[in-house]
Amino acid sequence: MKIAIVYMDPKGAPEKGAGYIMMSIPKEHKVTLYNVNKQLPAVIAGSDYDLLMVSTATTMYPTAASFIKKTKALCDVPVLMGGIHPTIMGAKLLQENPNIDYLCIGEGEIFVKEFLENYGKESLFDINNLAYIKNGDVISNPLNDPGDMAKLPPFPWKEFVRPVDPRGLMTITATRGCPHSCTYCCNSSYLKIYGKKYLRFRPVDDVIDEIKYLKKNFNFKVVSFGDEMIFFNKKYVTELFNRIKTELNVSYGCMGRVESINEEMTQLLKSTGCKYVSMGVECGDEEFRKKRLKRFMSNDQIKKAFRLLKSVGIQTISFNMVGWPWPEIDDKLTQSTIDLNRELSPNVTQVTWFYPLPGTELHDYCVAHDLINYQKVIRSYHESSIIKGYENKKISFHSRGGLKV
């Protein structure tokens, strides 16, 4: 088969889901990876593809839907959609958008092999993770267990236009999943599907081999781990970071939760070449953060984590949100966040708007209280809020400060 895979990043930055799916497709198929752009529907339509795969997150779904609609107007290529958004929305997305023929719910590496093996046969409708409409009925099949991280194919870095970001960071992943159920995060949807077994770790050897490949083939400054749970397994992260230092001698940065940062972890990070750690603050009001967001760290824990890292020269990034679905107290919440960040004094302060992701507790709250402006479409959490009551408000800064890499 001749297959096109399209992911929703017009700048061509690496998209992990689409990349791993591409590499999971058996070699007898001819596969082309595209980042979405205005000319793409005509390109797809003029290339006689047998199947179009589209990967999208929630904020980019309107772009994906528009692209599919334009493509379908030019040719009748079957469309399979995967990614975070169809996983969160489930089979009802097929009813809302008749231009989508099939959905992959959940992880797709195992699914895509079975889909292509059975495509065009009646057995297609029995494979796990597939959602489809048949005889007017919407059907969603059972899901496979989460895939074995040791069986992930090599990531196709050279397929992407911008594998290294403008700061010199190259983002890789060592884990998948999270055991927490923050009320604003789509991870809660995955926990409902898979349970806590969804948190998995790639073999350390595989991560080290990938960084060796990147070091040989790309000019980057820092390897950036884009997964928040890398600190969850102390034995794993100790081996990984020590081997990065001894075998590769490259600098790295990572994300983490403040509860994981203690004196021992700080010394490990310092001794192995960590440049920065990004941590979620989200809101400076401790009571609100615990009650409404289900993030149970105290302000004292947050302050200690930032203080420890700064004491050994590791840069810090704080993630924050404004525009919570309680407009009447949001000014107070925002001021508490500003005050806490002033005390933390991170190298970078990032601020985004709260976005009510389907499948989350706060999305359900917003729906129940009629707080979502469905006519407003945004492409990122930085642009503006879709919560009623924030129409005339703007974030004074998206990101303040800068990393030294």
In this predicted structure, what is the pLDDT of residue 99?
Answer: 96
With H, G, I as helix, E, B as strand and everything else as coil, classify residue 6: strand
Residues 107, 102: Cα–Cα separation, whole Å: 14
Residues 36, 40: Cα–Cα separation, whole Å: 6
Query: Which H helix or E strand runs over 339?
Result: helix 330-344
Quote the DSSP letter at residue 155: P
Tokens of 192: 């409902």
Query: Which H helix or E strand runs over 113?
Result: helix 109-118
Residues 147, 84: Cα–Cα separation, whole Å: 16
Q: How many CA atoms lie within 13 A of 252 on its CB side?
A: 31
73-102 burial: b if 16+ Cβ within 10 Å, else e: eeeebebbbbbbbbbbbbbebbeebeebbb
Which residues are paired to 104 by β-bridges?
130
In this predicted structure, what is the pLDDT of residue 325?
Answer: 96
State the chain's mean pLDDT as an integer.
94
**Which residues in the chain land under pLDDT 50?**
none
Residues 179, 169: Cα–Cα separation, whole Å: 27
Q: Residue 308 corresponds to which amino acid?
A: L
Residues 42, 70: Cα–Cα separation, whole Å: 8
Give the pLDDT confidence of 181-212 residue by residue, as tens digits.
999 998 888 888 898 889 999 999 999 999 99
In this predicted structure, what is the pLDDT of residue 16?
Answer: 94
Tokens of 76: 């009748």
In this predicted structure, what is the pLDDT of residue 398?
Answer: 66
CB 258 within 8 A of CB 301: yes
Q: Report the share of the chain in percent with pLDDT over 90.
A: 86
| Residue from 187, 110, 184, 97 nearest 141 by CA | 110
Residues 226, 337: Cα–Cα separation, whole Å: 24
CB 47 within 8 A of CB 16: no
In this predicted structure, what is the pLDDT of residue 149?
Answer: 95
- Which residues, 6+ apart, have CB-to-CB distance to 336 below 8 Å? 283, 284, 285, 288
Give the pLDDT confidence of 350-385 residue by residue, as tens digits.
999 999 999 999 999 999 999 999 888 777 777 889
Tokens of 205: 């050897």
Query: Can you list the domains of the chain with their CATH numbers?
Result: 2-140 (3.40.50.2300), 164-401 (3.20.20.70)
In this predicted structure, what is the pLDDT of residue 163?
Answer: 94
